[in-house]
Amino acid sequence: VALHGACSGQGEDPLSRYRSPLVSRYASAEMAFNFSERKKFGTWRRLWLYLALAEKSLGLPITDEQIKEMEANLDNIDFKMAAEEEKKLRHDVMAHVHTFAHCCPKAAAIIHLGATSCYVGDNTDLIVLRDGFNLLLPKLARVISRLADFAEAHADLPTLGFTHYQPAQLTTVGKRCCLWIQDLCMDLQNLERTRDDLRFRGVKGTTGTQASFLQLFEGDHSKVEELDRLVTAKAGFKRSYMVTGQTYSRKVDIGVLSVLASLGASVHKICTDIRLLANLKEIEEPFEKEQIGSSAMPYKRNPMRSERCCSLARHLMTLVLDPLQTASVQWFERTLDDSANRRVCLAEAFLTADIILSTLQNISEGLVVYPKVIDRRIRQELPFMATENIIMAMVKAGGNRQDCHEKIRVLSQQAAAVVKQEGGDNDFIARVRADPYFSPIHNHLDSLLDPSSFTGRAPQQVRRLQFLKEEVRPALIPYQGKMGGKIELTL
């Protein structure tokens, strides 16, 4: 108790209280504002204005003077008064009704007329979710655009492919990047669809029956329906949910956080690949000139941006469990055990997604490729991959397949022993060159070992099959006006 008393009161040090690092350390100002108290309560006042305008247009006795008074005070919010009212009333919506009414005395009688708390609460949440998607989508598009440029620039650069993180056939750096891009394009489509599928709760009353509004309009069902349509349109939505309880169905939140969790999985996979490639010294994320990788090991270049993405993406992926459980326990028309949970998980999901996209954009704008390291690793593995090509070339030169196969089996096992037991380089090709049996193809070995002949159609899949041109670039067209600017991170 003494400690609590010492830390409270006037002149409190702001650093003495916990602040979410999602806001204080990472997230953009735009996304932080989207979930701010100012945005929330400013939207409540706009919703009360929309309701009054619609009710007035449908014949309720609301004056122009009352409307103008409300319009003049939309952002004139006395947060101190609202906090005092909430402490007294134990009800946040009524606290803000009273606070709004205090600066709109002429309109006081018609503010919140016929509405329930969820009229402002749930409808504001839906506006904030929609606006959150509108902030994320251009960022995701920018990441895709940067990676598409990278893929196109490296479409032909052979690299060792891995399955089970074991050497497999060759691919190209650009083709591997297209795997990342394809996942992100799915996320772009999912986010767009989920945003566009969002509806407004609308004007539904206490348990969703619109009984209070039917009473206001003296049993005129058509006016109640029109009221719902008018307010929905004023809020920028094309449709409202046709049936609700006191709240909109919490399954909506499941859909929203599911697509964000899926985005988190994509980013985690991409950044894990980059971390593995950094260990192989083939590709690295950007590294600042004076950046320190380790306090003890000056030579280190840790992939800390990718590690941050993976760390936060794990958090994002777990948040979908909250709305899943919340939706499952909403009794009948509603129960309030959704409220505290939703205050946390909805905001954190968008803030976290915002952070990982900004970080991934920074990574994608500065990826560094080391072709000589990539080529060296290819040369270590390619001789074994080329054995079938060597056999076919020998057969064409008049050799016997079975004899050639046995010769290659012996030489390849000898070379493998050098690599695994002695720690040496793969000398299989040197052994082939030294063996007179293979003299008919000695002059063709260089062409048989050309890495580009082992990448299949990887370059064509990036370019000639026009993955970037036909699938990726068209998906980015709606965001062309928002593609500029680079991300600078505070590490």
Q: What is the DSSP letter of 240?
A: B
Q: What pLDDT score was predicted for residue 10?
A: 56
Q: How confident is the model over 82-117, as pLDDT tens digits?
A: 999 999 999 999 999 999 999 999 999 999 999 999
Count H helices and E strands in the chain, helices first. 22, 4
- For the record, the structure tokens of 218 come out as 């003296």
Segment 392-406 mean pLDDT: 93
Instruction: Using pLDDT thresholds of 50, 70 and 90, give the confidence band for residue 3.
Output: very low
What pLDDT, on the 0 to 100 scale, is given for residue 54?
98
Q: Is the pLDDT of residue 294 over 90?
A: no
Helix intervals (H) in 198-338: 211-216, 221-234, 251-280, 304-318, 321-328
Amino acid letter, 430: A
Q: What is the DSSP secondary-structure string of 427-457? A: -HHHHHHH-GGGGGGGGGHHHHT-GGGGSTT
Phi and psi torsions of 159, nearest 5°: -150, 155
Of residues 290 and 328, which shows the higher confidence score? 328
Note the pLDDT tens digit of each residue in 230-271.
999 999 999 999 999 999 999 999 999 999 999 999 999 999
Question: Is residue 229 predicted with pLDDT exceeding 60?
Answer: yes
Structural domains of the chain sorted by starting position, each given as residue range(s) with its CATH number in brackets: 125-201+244-367 (1.20.200.10), 387-448 (1.10.40)
Instruction: Flag whether pLDDT at 490 surpasses 60.
Output: yes
Q: What is the pLDDT of residue 461?
A: 86
Would the pLDDT of 4 be above 50?
no
How would residue 6 be classed by pLDDT, with cut points 50, 70 and 90?
Answer: very low
**Phi (first) and psi of residue 450, to 5 degrees:** -65, 115
Asked if pLDDT for residue 287 goes beyond 90, the answer is: no
**Residue 179 in tokens:** 């795997």
3-state SS, residue 172: strand
Tell me what the pLDDT averaged over the chain comes to. 91
The DSSP H or E segment spanning 284 is: strand 283-284
Residue 11: per-residue pLDDT: 60
Contact 432, 411 (CB under 8 A): yes
Does residue 141 register a pLDDT over 60? yes
Residue range 440-479, pLDDT digits in tens: 999 988 888 888 888 888 988 887 667 898 899 999 999 9
Which residue is it, tokens 């929609």? 130
pLDDT > 70: what percent of the chain? Answer: 94
pLDDT value, residue 1: 39
Task: Please write the tens of the pLDDT for every residue from 295-350.
Answer: 444 445 789 999 999 999 999 999 999 999 999 999 999 999 999 999 999 999 99
pLDDT of residue 272: 98
Catalytically annotated residues: 164, 294
What's the one-letter identity of residue 199?
R
Alpha-carbon gap, residue 125 to 199, rounded angstroms? 11
Report, as an integer, the average pLDDT of 138-162: 96
User: Nearest to residue 365, comparing CAs of 191, 192, 489, 183?
Assistant: 489
